[in-house]
Structure 1
Amino acid sequence: MSENSQKNPDEIVKEQARVGFEIYELENWKLFLSALIAGLEIGFSLVLMGYLHTIFKEIYPDDILGLIVSFGYPIGFIFVIIGRSELFTEQTALAMIPVLNRSKGFISLLILWGLVLLGNLVGGLIFSYFFAWFGPAKGFVPVETLVELGEKFINEPIDIVMGSAILAGWMMGLLGWLITSVQESISRIILILFITIIIGMAGLHHCIVGSVEVLTAMWVSDSITVVDYWHFLWPSVLGNLIGGAIFVSVLKFGLTTNQISSTRKNINW
């Protein structure tokens, strides 16, 4: 197959299955470290969004400003996905394939999800603490911008947060599927841009990026508390998990069980 050729559905499914199985082969400390790195790298989305918000907030009204800021949202995802670090909202989809195929147990899945989520959140926590100091100290992202970007995630009802997070998780599952369908990095970057810009424009709740935003705002504002962060975090994590899992079970595994089974037999460990 040439580099620019598009994979057919069977090849996409087999590639998804191969990646899903290989995730379980990583040692726990390597999995956690990769997830920690992803949590750090995803923070660069906030850096660019904060900068765009700062330089354009006096020029454009809020609706246009929100659109401009959303173009900074994909940069962290590009770093993570192209760099192959482990991101929780990708593993909600990929890691389920071996479990649905009964090649791995549910406990193994929970351990994997837990390690990746913990690594992402710890990485995001470290980045947020650093950026809450560095951004205002450097002068290119003021405290007011950090607070405004974080507050938008903490003042909505739980059912709205949950629905928003389910859509974000679904779209991240879709992103994983589409990325597997192409070979070259440029096409993958374009796909990441389109999908994540939509998540950013719609203000959907992504538990890792949103965690960095809320935590950064919490470090610089007394009005945002750990309770506010928790009220954002748990429905976001659960919603992202549901969205990614449904995408796999309905559109990937349910229609392609035979392809995945044959892939498991052909993998050389």
Structure 2
Amino acid sequence: METTDQNKSEEQQNIDNELKKSKTSEADTAKSHGEILKQQIIEGQETYDKNPISILLSSLTAGLEIGFSYLLICVMFYFLSGKVAEDTIIKSLSLVYPLGFIMIILGQSILFTEQTSLLTLPVLNKKRSLPSLLKLWGLVIAGNLLGGYLIAFLLVWLGPRLEIFDLKTVEKIAIHVTQYNNIVILASSILAGWLMGLLSWLVAASKDTLSRIVIIFMITAVLAFTGLHHSIVGNVEVFAGLITSSAISFLDYISFIALALLGNALGGFVFVALLKYRAFVYDVKG
């Protein structure tokens, strides 16, 4: 038993030493796997070290800012209704969907799905504990959801008064998001979490703001075009439907948000954080 613990300790020391060797690449050179992983672990640890109130406020800000994606979705849906086929409208929403994500990520607010793999890496690297991860996830999710509730109330009140969309549009979008069975929503959310974890990894790999904008647009547009379920955007979409339409029940909302959060977390953790970290570990082992 003592030998096993010693071997694990030596293995962890080798991993840490290899990460320390990773230096920042020159401006015209692509970052290595180790460099990206080191940056992600450092950024993740910095989030753990923040004041809980700061984390909650940053998460609340992200929940509010994602509302700008929802605002444009509603406006575009309403503007194109009756002019083009509804399935064409749904696909075209991918052109405006990325805006909120660009604002959040470049503005460095804390979004659950973008931070899922980032916050998991320090746990995998044995620098943070699982309970601390779950506590941090809870804070981030609470802030994101609360921000989403606030912006949903504001937009469903303001939209009809500005005549930029109506409540029927809100209902159609909410029904479109929730019309699938639970297994489909969960599987869809896992893929969305995978893409968002990959987004975090690719943003860390990029070296300038324009590259980051392109990456964010590309990944989140894929989410929208394919209809994959994102828990934080979906929170605004479904909650707005809940407070304005009898077609969306409280059970519909709770079922959706639980499955979407679970799926997004699994996707970000398993397919990005775990696999990329283990790939590095096996490379260190030789």
Deviations 1:189-234 (A, max 9, x none): 1001110011011111111000000111122212212111001110
**Letter matched to residue 235 of structure 1:** L
Distance (whole Å) between structure 2 residues aligned to residue 90 and residue 69 of structure 1: 21
> Residue 203 of structure 1 aligns with which residue?
227
**Letter matched to residue 80 of structure 2:** F
Corresponding position: 1:104 with 2:128:
yes
Aligned length: 260
**1:236: how far off?**
0.5
Deviations 1:129-185 (A, max 9, x none): 111101111110111111111111222111001000000000001101111111111
The equivalent position to 1:223 in structure 2, one of 235, 247, 250, is 247
**Letter matched to residue 222 of structure 2:** I
The equivalent position to 1:36 in structure 2, one of 60, 63, 70, is 60
**1:252: how far off?**
1.8
Distance (whole Å) between structure 1 residues aligned to residue 273 and residue 151 of structure 2: 34
The equivalent position to 1:86 in structure 2, one of 110, 121, 134, is 110
Segments of structure 1 that go 5 or more residues without pairing to the other structure are 261-269
> Residue 158 of structure 2 aligns with which residue?
134
CA contact (8 A) 1:154 1:231 kept: no
TM-score by length of 2: 0.87
Corresponding position: 1:239 with 2:263:
yes
Among the aligned pairs, what percent are the same residue? 38
CA contact (8 A) 1:14 1:259 kept: no
Distance (whole Å) between structure 2 residues aligned to residue 74 and residue 258 of structure 1: 35
Segment of structure 1 superposing worse, 233-242 or 215-224: 215-224
Please say which structure displays the higher CA radius of gyration: 2
Corresponding position: 1:122 with 2:146:
yes
SS in 1 for 2:279: coil
> Residue 33 of structure 2 aligns with which residue?
9
The equivalent position to 1:191 in structure 2, one of 207, 215, 226, is 215
CA contact (8 A) 1:132 1:217 kept: no
> Residue 264 of structure 1 aligns with which residue?
none
> Residue 188 of structure 2 aligns with which residue?
164
CA contact (8 A) 2:115 2:200 kept: no
> Residue 170 of structure 2 aligns with which residue?
146
Higher normalized helix content (fraction of residues): 2
Segments of structure 2 that go 5 or more residues without pairing to the other structure are 1-24
**Letter matched to residue 246 of structure 2:** D
**Letter matched to residue 199 of structure 2:** L
The equivalent position to 1:175 in structure 2, one of 199, 207, 216, is 199
> Residue 92 of structure 2 aligns with which residue?
68
> Residue 73 of structure 2 aligns with which residue?
49
Deviations 1:81-112 (A, max 9, x none): 01000010122101111111111111100000
Distance (whole Å) between structure 2 residues aligned to residue 55 and residue 3 of structure 1: 44
**1:259: how far off?**
9.6
Distance (whole Å) between structure 1 residues aligned to residue 174 and residue 67 of structure 2: 13
> Residue 266 of structure 1 aligns with which residue?
none
CA contact (8 A) 2:175 2:247 kept: no
Distance (whole Å) between structure 1 residues aligned to residue 145 and residue 283 of structure 2: 34
Distance (whole Å) between structure 1 residues aligned to residue 30 and residue 166 of structure 2: 45
**1:61: how far off?**
1.2
> Could you say which structure has the greater relative contact order, defined with CA pairs below 8 angstroms and 6 or more residues apart?
1
CA contact (8 A) 1:10 1:259 kept: no
Moved over 3 A (4+): 1-5, 257-260
> Residue 256 of structure 1 aligns with which residue?
280
The equivalent position to 1:77 in structure 2, one of 89, 92, 101, is 101
TM-score by length of 1: 0.92
